[in-house]
Amino acid sequence: MINIYLYWQFRIALYEEVLRLNYPAAHAIALVLLLISLLMLGLIALLQRKNQAPSLRLPL
């Protein structure tokens, strides 16, 4: 639940920086959001691969 709260805080901060025309800060916040998203996507893929049952492949 904390991750979702931080995500929304970053989104609000990004919006506020764009409204202030502070583009360098907005880019930095966007980069943080992108890195968090990629990290979460990688962790989910890793967990799915780890919990997947081994498949039996027959030689053809």
The CA distances from residue 26 to 6, 7, 17, 54, in Å, are 16, 14, 5, 44
pLDDT of residue 13: 84
State the pTM of this model: 0.67
Q: In which band, very low, low, confident or very high, does the pLDDT at 11 lie, cut at 50, 70 and 90?
A: confident
Give domain limits for the chain: 2-38
**How buried is 49 (Cβ within 10 angstroms: 0-12 exposed, 13-18 middle, 19+ buried)?**
exposed
Tell the residue number behind the tokens 């967990």, with chain if given.
47
- pLDDT, tens digit (0-9, with 9 covering 90-100), for 20-56: 999 999 999 899 889 988 999 999 999 988 887 666 6
pLDDT of residue 41: 93
The CA distances from residue 8 to 18, 43, 58, in Å, are 15, 20, 48
